[in-house]
Amino acid sequence: MNAWVLGGIAWLDDVQAFYRERSAIEKEYSQKLNALAKKYFDKKIRKQSSLSVGDTPTVTPGSLERYARVSVYPESPCPDPHCLVLP
């Protein structure tokens, strides 16, 4: 019986080592994936803002008149004076 218990302990040690190595690999993978996503997100934002407002954005009369923040939840506070609350 002593050999059976020692075998079980050895097996648990192997399982623990496996999951420690796996978690290290997954952590490294997630960090690299986040860095890649951030790189392309920043690139997309730069390109998108250039397309939407141009290379030299300016505020013109009427450019902010259509601005409104819409809230679907009437109980949520909206400090913005342009906030619209939908029923």
Q: How confident is the model at residue 46 (pLDDT cuts 50, 70, 90)?
A: confident
Rounded to 5 degrees, φ, ψ at 69 are -100, 130
Res. 5: pLDDT tops 70: yes
- CA end-to-end span of the chain: 71
Nearest in space to 10 (alpha carbons), one of 27, 83, 55, 2: 2
Tokens 């218990």, located at residue:
5
Amino acid at 56: T
Domain boundaries, the chain: 2-85
Q: What is the mean pLDDT of residues 17-38?
A: 95
Q: What is the pLDDT of residue 45?
A: 76
Between 34 and 52, residue with greater pLDDT: 34
Q: Which tens digit of pLDDT belongs to each residue from 48-59?
A: 665 555 666 666
The residue-averaged pLDDT of 37-65 equals 68
State the pTM of this model.
0.47
